[in-house]
Structure 1
Amino acid sequence: MEMTPLPPKSVSNSINALEQYTRRNSLRIRGILEVDRETGEMCIHKVVNFCRIKLGLDLQPQCIDRAHRVGSKENATAQRVMLVKFVSLQDRDRVFRARSKLKGKRDDQDKPLLVLADLTRENMRIFSAALSAKNRGRIKDTWVDANCRIIITLTDNTRKNIDCVEDLP
């Protein structure tokens, strides 16, 4: 039996979906104070404290597999985002759901405190395009759910998952 090859778009969507799946236990947190020579252990304790103080969650250090900063250190005054990988999806989801408690809260540099899904580069590009479509009035709303799916609300109030920029109206 001869198999027909998948079209390139389908292959790239599949690769992106697999890469996103490998990030399912991870979140990005913006607003945790950065100090020089931070170790992974220090980052874990900062995340635990952030969750306790800002989110009201009793999270133990054992719930976090690893935590570290991402991004370049070019701007010495800017706080870099913390990438956090949780041991269990349940703990990751508890933190993700509690992020609504951060609404309106800002860090010492007057930037919003955020807990974000760890999106792939491609999914971040798709989400940015969806935000642009929202700002131009082509769609009503867009967000990323707990499973890292990008969802849009169309102007007729129907919801739709999008996997590529071409899915946008």
Structure 2
Amino acid sequence: MESNTHTPLNTNRPRRTSKPTPPEREMKKLCYSDITASQTHLTDGSIDDSIVEQTGESSISNVYIVPPDMAPLPSSTQGSVDGQTNVNISLSSSDMEIISGAVCDYIVKNLKTILEPVLAAHFANYSEALEAANSKITRLKEENEDLKKQVDALDQYTRRNSLQVSGIRELREENTDDVITSTMSKIGVEISPTDIEHSHRVGSKDGGKTRPIIVKFSNFRVKRRILMARKQLDKNVYVNDDLTWERSGIAYKARKLVKQKVLNKTWTSNGKIVVIDSSGRRYSIETMSELDMLSSRTHMQSPHSQGQARTMSYAGAVTSGRISISSEQIPSLEGAVTASVSPGKTNLPEGTTHTLRNATPTK
């Protein structure tokens, strides 16, 4: 008996004309179709083994851990392990811009809060060190100023017996000792050769100007006699104290202020610069800063009574009201001064400047 191996055609069954789906696409379809079903298992923390087997291992670089109660994101593949959801998310460039903008805004808003404690801890140490350095610099500046004053005072003290004579015509082969002796003899001051320790002209010969003569006497009494008689000299001849470089600058500026009508008068006495302000008060200036302060004070207090002459140390007048009286520059007093004198200042030798407290000159 002959078997029939021919299968009859089933005209009622439709035939597929397209190509079969590749296995990997078929697996992806299966995963997408089971997402909703797997979510029902994730709510109670259970694991859907079928989904784990179907999805396989996810790429670690694209995995975000999402709590179980969150809704599944569209277009994603997820599985559940230990109550957490592993989700592969695909973000567009616009999404990345939104996220980066939000992160930047957060950092900017909280930058001060984040950095302030860190910077404060560092700057606290720096602030203490800077404050200590500034304090040390200030102290060193004050010490430097004090040392400069002491050096200048010592330099001036070595010139206590010296005078500067200006305006005497300079000869080619001259002896300055003889020039000083002959000049002072014209005003009645006789000087012996032993009274002069040394003398010389100062400054450069260039320029055609007459250079002044510095003369150092053997004792202060000779210098004082010349100072008392110097008004009898010719108009073009001037006798002044031999000052240090610093004090010469102060005296020069004081003379300029007199020409500018800022001060009324100025002269030197025993190495100190004495000035009279617009109100008639006298001050003994020792530093350039004191002269600058005095010149800036356009309105000064006038003397208490007419004929009350006094020479004030400017620094002391500003701070403590100390008064300096020169018996040489104020001959009208001549010892007729009643005052509370500090210890050691009871004698008033002529030609020296003394510091008194609360001095009250009387006629």
| TM-score, normalised by the number of residues in structure 1 | 0.81
Shift of 1:123: 0.3
Correspondence 1:91 to 2:222: yes
Distance 2:247 2:188 in 1: 30
Query: What code does the residue aligned with 1:94 have?
Result: R
Unaligned runs of 5+ in 1: 107-111
Question: Which residues of 2 match residues 1-169 of structure 1 at below 5 A?
Answer: 6-38=142-174, 42-53=175-186, 55-75=187-207, 77-102=208-233, 105-106=234-235, 112-145=236-269, 147-168=270-291, 169=294
Kindly indicate whether the alpha-carbon contact (under 8 Å) linking 1:32 and 1:47 is maintained by their aligned counterparts in 2: no
Which structure has more RCO (C-alpha within 8 Å, separation ≥ 6)? 1
Shift of 1:82: 1.3
Query: What code does the residue aligned with 1:144 have?
Result: T
Shift in CA distance, 72/93, structure 1 to aligned 2, threshold 3 Å? same
Distance 1:51 1:23 in 2: 20
| TM-score, normalised by the number of residues in structure 2 | 0.40
Number of residue-to-residue matches in the alignment = 153
Query: What code does the residue aligned with 1:43 have?
Result: T
Unaligned runs of 5+ in 2: 1-138, 295-363
Distance 2:209 2:252 in 1: 22
Please report the RMSD computed on the Cα atoms of aligned residues, expressed in angstroms.
1.8
Shift in CA distance, 136/87, structure 1 to aligned 2, threshold 3 Å? same
Shift in CA distance, 136/32, structure 1 to aligned 2, threshold 3 Å? closer
Identify which range, 43-52 or 25-34, moves more after superposition.
25-34
Shift of 1:74: 1.2
Q: For 1:18-44, what per-residue CA distance to the aligned partner results, in whole angstroms no more than 9, with x for missing partners?
A: 111111111111233322243xxx221
Dislocated runs of 4+, deviation >3 Å: none
Higher Rg of the two aligned structures = 2
Kindly indicate whether the alpha-carbon contact (under 8 Å) linking 1:31 and 1:113 is maintained by their aligned counterparts in 2: yes
Distance 2:288 2:264 in 1: 16
Distance 1:8 1:138 in 2: 31
Alignment partner, residue 109 of structure 1: none
Distance 1:148 1:52 in 2: 25
> Identity over the aligned pairs, expressed in percent?
29
